[in-house]
Amino acid sequence: MSEESARPGNRIRVWYRPMRSRDSAEHHRVATPLELLFDLCFVVAVGQAGAHLHHDFAEGHFGHGTVSFVLVFFGIWWAWLNFSWFASAFDTDDVPYRLATLVQIGGGLTVAAGVESAFDGDFRVMVAGYVVMRLALVAQWLRAARSSPELRVTALWYAAGITICQVLWVVRLALPDAVGLPAFAVIVLAELAVPMLAESRAGTTWHPHHIAERYGLFTLIVLGETVLSATNAIREGIKEGHVAGLVSLAVAGLVLVFSLWWLYFDQPGHRRLSGNPGMLTTMSWGYGHYLIFGSAAAIGTGLEVAVDYDTHQTSIPGLAAALVTTVPVTLFLLSVWLLHIGPTNECRPIAIGFPVTAVLVLAASFTPAPIHVTAVLAAALVALTVVATHGEREP
């Protein structure tokens, strides 16, 4: 098979290609059907995490629910992130690559199956899924090291770092409960350090537009889970006869989610990643999306709790029920502001509007209709961005 026919973008199917790094300036580089399938499998894990967070919050277990969600969602997000950045740089789309991705999908579904026990403090199933996913990823990095001499050192650093971190996750299972949380924090720092250490040797050729699209797709997945969660809660409330109050809540929730979608996608995500932005900017953008993804997922839980409160299915105080939604919305707005908009954005109304709206959303927790007020504030911020940019989205 010729080199021309072996290129990733070529339509001729071959069973094996050398895993060479892709062109970071490749035209029409978009998410592949395999990547979309991978994302859909992670919908299960995100949905499970949100469901158990809702259960804890509805019972008033705010501390336990928050900590458990932060830990579990990190595992979900980090597994997705590792796959996405590797695929952006080395997706050969041949038979071995597809089979390795199949193994990673199986590991991801195992992680999803372990979410419930993880909320109870038992991470064995999640770690088992992680072992499957990470070993497949290590094999991919070793394959890249063999086929791409210019990135051999980087790929070996990734393979070694991921292997060491995975061993640490397994060892953590044997540690006493008293040191479980500190150990988790230490291993997370080690995980975050691996890409920084590896990329400092020789940067991989990830594609800015492709990465921005991948992150945007995951944002859509999380927002979709938010809509699904809220819809299911409202459906159950209507079955109980609570129709009038839930209609306005449903409208407010829809306006809120639509506004958050608008605000995230209004500014092109690849702006911060194009033009050799530097490792610090790239890492802060990539890692910072944990807050965007996590807060978006938690908003769905907040809307479910709001339905529970209005239908008298929970006994938590009204302020607590409001904060379950307004806090993640505030975090979402601030995260999008820092990662996409920028405090020094040349459009000052937008640059100032995001943090001001975030503060007002938090203050809305003390109003009689916090979800409705939050939706109005988010929609007002959308209107501000439209007026400030004259309705033209930056190409």
Instruction: Say if residue 193 is in the same domain as residue 212.
Output: no
Instruction: Say if residue 173 is in the same domain as residue 69.
Output: yes
Q: Do the domain assignments include residue 82?
A: yes
Instruction: Say if residue 139 is in the same domain as residue 271.
Output: no
User: Which of 199, 220, 243 is the last residue in one of the domains?
Assistant: 199
Instruction: Say if residue 217 is in the same domain as residue 357.
Output: yes
pLDDT at 276: 65
Percent of the chain with pLDDT over 90: 59
CB 69 within 8 A of CB 222: no
SS3 content of the chain, % helix, strand, coil (to 5): 75, 0, 25
pLDDT at 4: 42
pLDDT digits (tens, 9 = 90+) for 119-154: 998 999 999 999 999 999 999 999 999 988 888 999
Under the banding of pLDDT at 50, 70 and 90, the label for residue 238 is confident
pLDDT digits (tens, 9 = 90+) for 165-193: 999 999 999 999 889 899 999 999 999 99
Write the CATH number for 364. 1.20.1410
Instruction: Say if residue 193 is in the same domain as residue 281.
Output: no
Instruction: Say if residue 218 is in the same domain as residue 192.
Output: no
Q: How many domains, the chain? A: 2
Instruction: Say if residue 156 is in the same domain as residue 69.
Output: yes
Instruction: Say if residue 213 is in the same domain as residue 194.
Output: no
Instruction: Say if residue 190 is in the same domain as residue 306.
Output: no
131: CB partners within 8 A, 6+ apart: 107, 166, 169, 170
Instruction: Say if residue 282 is in the same domain as residue 312.
Output: yes
Q: Do the domain assignments include residue 194?
A: yes
293-316 average pLDDT score: 90
Q: Do the domain assignments include residue 28?
A: no
97-115 average pLDDT score: 93
Given a cut of 80, whether residue 61 has pLDDT beyond it is yes
User: Which of 199, 217, 237 is the last residue in one of the domains?
Assistant: 199
pLDDT at 227: 85
Q: Do the domain assignments include residue 94?
A: yes
Instruction: Say if residue 360 is in the same domain as residue 242.
Output: yes
pLDDT at 140: 94
DSSP string, 187-236: HHHHHHHHHHHHHTTS-----HHHHHHHHHHHHHHHHHHHHHHHHHHHHH
Listed in sequence order, the DSSP H helices in 267-390 are: 279-310, 318-336, 348-363, 370-388
Q: Do the domain assignments include residue 54?
A: yes
pLDDT at 203: 80
Instruction: Say if residue 69 is in the same domain as residue 217.
Output: no
Q: How is residue 21 written in tokens?
A: 């790094």
Q: Do the domain assignments include residue 16?
A: no
Which has the minimum average pLDDT: 19-23, 89-93, 358-362?
A: 19-23
Q: Do the domain assignments include residue 247?
A: yes
Given a cut of 90, whether residue 299 has pLDDT beyond it is yes
User: Which of 144, 164, 199 is the last residue in one of the domains?
Assistant: 199
Domain limits at 61? 33-199
Q: Do the domain assignments include residue 258?
A: yes
